Amino acid sequence: MKNLKSTGSKSPSTSSKLFLKLNNGSRLFPGQTLDDTIIELLLHLEYVPYLHIPIKFNAAELLQEAQHLRSRYSPYLKKNDDWLTLGLRTPGGRPGRPLSQPKEIAARDTKFAKRCPRTRALLAKVVDWDNCSRIRFRVLKAKSKVACHRDGNDSYHHITVNISLNMPEGCDYLIDLSPAGRRTKKTKVIPFKNSGSIFLVNNSKFHRLENKSRIDRYHLTAFGRVKLHEQTLLKLARKQNQIRGIENLIKALKR
C-alpha cells in the first residue's frame, strides 16, 4: 500500500486526512486489506461521489413489485409523509422507519423480502444479500423534496448501492452541496435513469432530492458488501471519471 503521506503535502494535509479515513475501512469491502486498488477506488468516490454500475435489468418488473406493496410503506422520517420506505432486510427485520437511536441488532429479512423475487434476483448480482445490514425500497412522492443532509461524515462507511426503478423527468438527486444545501462548483446531479440504473453513491457528501414531477419516484438501496470485484469497479471508475492513479486523484481533490 502506498504511503499517502509521502505525496509532497505538508501536515495536516488533505492526503493525510484521507489516509486516516481510509484506515477506517469501507463497508463495501469489509475485512479486506486496503490495497492500492481499493484506495484508488475509494478516492474516485471522494472525487465524484457516484459510480455507475452497468448491469442491465428490467426496471418495470421491479417497479411492479415495489408498487404492489405500496400500502405497506411507512414514512422514513417522523412527520414527513413525502418520503416513504419499506424494508426488505433491516436490523431485527423491522420493515418500517429506522430506529432514531440505532442499536447493534443483527439484520434479518423482513416479511416482505419473499414477496419480491425479481428484486432479490437483481440484488443477488450486485450485493451479498446476507451480508447487507439494510435493503429498502424508497419512495419520494410527486412534488416533494428531501432536505439537504448527509448520512454521516465518514465517506468510507457511507457508500450505498442505489438503484433507480424509475426517475421521472424533473426528479433530481443533487450531491456534493454546501452544508446549507447550495450548489457549489463540485455539485453533481446523479444521472439515474428512468429505465433503471445502478449506482454506488457516497452519501457522506451533502445531498438533497427534489421531485418536481407528477410521478412518485421509486428507488432501492442496499448497504453492504458488493459482489463486483474491486478491479472491475476501479476500471469503471477510471473510465467514468477520466482520471487514473492515486497521486493524480489526490492532486485533483486538492483543487
> Based on CB atoms, which residue is closest to Fe ion, 164 or 203?
203
> Based on CB atoms, which residue is closest to Fe ion, 26 or 203?
203
The x, y and z cell numbers of residue 140, run together, are: 419520494
Residues within the interface to Fe ion (CB under 5 A): 151, 203
Give me the least distance between CB of 132 and Fe ion, in Å please: 17
Residue the block writes with cell 451479498: 128
* Alpha carbon distance, N-terminus to C-terminus of the chain: 24
Give me the least distance between CB of 71 and Fe ion, in Å please: 25
Residue 180 CA to residue 177 CA, distance in Å, equals 8
Of all residues in the shown chain, the one whose CB is closest to Fe ion is 151
Burial of 155 (0-12, 13-18, 19+ CB in 10 A): buried
Give me the least distance between CB of 149 and Fe ion, in Å please: 6
> Based on CB atoms, which residue is closest to Fe ion, 39 or 51?
51
Residue 25 CA to residue 156 CA, distance in Å, equals 6
Give me the least distance between CB of 200 and Fe ion, in Å please: 14
Burial of 251 (0-12, 13-18, 19+ CB in 10 A): middle
> Based on CB atoms, which residue is closest to Fe ion, 224 or 249?
224
Which residues, including other chains, have CB under 8 Å from residue 67's CB and lie 6 or more apart? 218
> Based on CB atoms, which residue is closest to Fe ion, 50 or 57?
50
Cβ atoms of residues 87 and 95 within 8 Å: yes
Helix count and strand count (H, E) for the chain: 6, 12
> Based on CB atoms, which residue is closest to Fe ion, 4 or 190?
190
Give me the least distance between CB of 187 and Fe ion, in Å please: 15
Give me the least distance between CB of 209 and Fe ion, in Å please: 8
